[in-house]
Amino acid sequence: MNTITPGLAALPAEKKQWFVEDRFGMFIHWGLYSLPARHEWVKNREEISTEDYQKYFDHFDPDLYDPAEWAKMARAAGMKYVVLTTKHHEGFCLWDSAVTDYKVTETPYGKDLLGPFVEAFRAEGLKVGFYYSLIDWHHPDFPVDPFHPQRNDPEAARMNEGRDISRYASYMRDQVRELLTGFGKIDVIWFDFSYPNRLHNELPGKGHKDWQSEELVKLVRDLQPEIIINNRLDLVDLPADVTTPEQYVPREWPKVKGENVTWEACHTLSGSWGYHRDEDTWKSPDQLIRLLVDTVSMGGNLLMNVGPTGRGLLDDRAVSALDVYGKWMKLNGRSIYGCTQSSLEAPQDCRLTQRGNRLYVHLFSWPFRHLHLDGLAGKVRYAQFLHDASEVLIVPADEEDPWNPTQVKVAPTSVTLELPVRKPDVLVPVIELF
Ligand code: H79
């Protein structure tokens, strides 16, 4: 357990209000790994040496980069905030950092990418977040540990001579200071990630002592008092502002020490975070919408990732996925923004969200004619489909079954809705209850 400096408290709930109301953000993974186009961990997975990885730096030239286009697409998809990888595990920086040459301004592109990015997204009204990798496979003081690309290099032991992770921790603080002073108000900082020894049978991992996490948090709070900091700094006793399950759907609202926490699921469109040319595991339109609904129905946010190409474009598959969200959110966003988990139990194959006393029923499968909502007897005055505001009839509580006249159709504790036989042409139809 760590001892936490008094005063290093988490952000109060009112400062996170915008975040839980916005519900839907865009994650962007962009770096040198967009060129090999076979996963952002390619350097690690294929144990590529720094010399061999250099070709991606030498050819990084996103001539079609237009952040205003990305920002428009994010906004059209219904996303309200964005988080960009300013530096991923490969160590390459998208801004003109003063403390390294491993940065975009030294590539053929030759210009800062981050300033224009921040400006473009702010201009579309989105909040802006920075992802910053704690792991760095390029920095000369980052140890060649058992999870490093050069772990099997015969020179690994020699490479490690003189490496000093405390110098790396200080490098990170320098970079975080640049990021949080050079680009105006930043709304989220997303550190990624810790793998402390205790999780790996005492193999030398990396945790709060290596990163000097407390110092980082102090610095961040000092520079940007309202910023949201995620939970990957290995500060077990410091309540994080947001808990970030990755690439899975929790079964219930995530808890820390038994308490529901502010949380944000992050997911990929295709499996890889970085642009992956050959991947076959793109999520279906239906899955994309369900991921969002599932998450909000358990009180969380969804940060959905895109991986731009080496030329700076979102490819057609990503654009189609964003279109799926845009089309659905335009009609159904009211059941997402400002909504949270409902205290009522959802009917089979449904997900509930709630805002005040508006209840939203999301239908993942299509029942035949009747939908029974237990526990709502006497509480619903009107029901409509959200996508077209067409009335959904409420079966009168005393309506008898003509084929069994002693029997009423509606259970005493329930509200029963009469659905059309055919499912409306919406990926996930939503019924709004007043
Ligand atoms: O940036 C994206 C991913 O590249 C990064 N987080 C998202 C947002 C990420 N990649 N992998 N992971 C997070 C989890 C990785 C876990 C493992 Fe391991 C890597 C298991 C084995 C190798 C951690 C490091 C545990 C052992 C070594």
Question: Does residue 7 carry a pLDDT above 80?
Answer: no
Q: Is the CB of 145 under 6 A from ligand 1?
A: no
Q: How confident is the model at residue 118 (pLDDT cuts 50, 70, 90)?
A: very high
What global pTM score does this model have? 0.97
**What is the distance of C-alpha 16 from the center of its chain?**
15
Q: In Å, how far are 130, 139, 190, 427 from 230, measured between CA atoms? A: 11, 23, 5, 32
**Across-strand partners of 265?**
302
**Which pLDDT score is estimated for 5?**
61
Q: How confident is the model at residue 242 (pLDDT cuts 50, 70, 90)?
A: very high
CA distance 432 to 251: 24
- Cα(112) to ligand 1 centroid in Å equals 27
- Cα(327) to ligand 1 centroid in Å equals 32
Say which range, 91-95, 322-326, 400-404, 417-421, has the weakest mean pLDDT: 400-404
CA distance 80 to 301: 11
Question: Does residue 2 carry a pLDDT above 70?
Answer: no
Question: Does residue 1 carry a pLDDT above 50?
Answer: no
Return the ligand 1 atom nearest residue 193 CA. 13
The arithmetic mean of pLDDT across residues 304-319, rounded, is 98
**Which pLDDT score is estimated for 4?**
52
- Cα(249) to ligand 1 centroid in Å equals 17
The terminus-to-terminus CA distance of the chain in angstroms comes to 48
Its ipTM equals 0.97
**Which pLDDT score is estimated for 3?**
52
CA distance 250 to 418: 32
Q: What is the DSSP string of 320-386?
A: HHHHHHHHHHHHHGGGTTT-B--SSPPPTTEEEEEETTEEEEEESS--SSEEEEET-TTT-S-EEET
- Cα(176) to ligand 1 centroid in Å equals 21
Domains of the chain: 13-335 (3.20.20.80), 350-433 (2.60.40)
- Residue 312 · residue 64 · CB < 8 Å: yes
Question: Does residue 350 carry a pLDDT above 90?
Answer: yes
Cα-only R_g, the chain: 24
Return the ligand 1 atom nearest residue 135 CA. 24
Question: Does residue 309 carry a pLDDT above 70?
Answer: yes
- For atom 16 of ligand 1, which residue has the closest CA? 195
* Amino acid occupying residue 248: Y
In the sheet that holds 393-394, the strands lie side by side as: 370-374, 414-418, 393-394
**Across-strand partners of 327?**
none
The conformation of residue 111, written as its DSSP 8-state character, comes to S
Say which range, 175-179, 374-378, 381-385, has the weakest mean pLDDT: 374-378
> How does the average pLDDT of the chain come out, rounded?
96
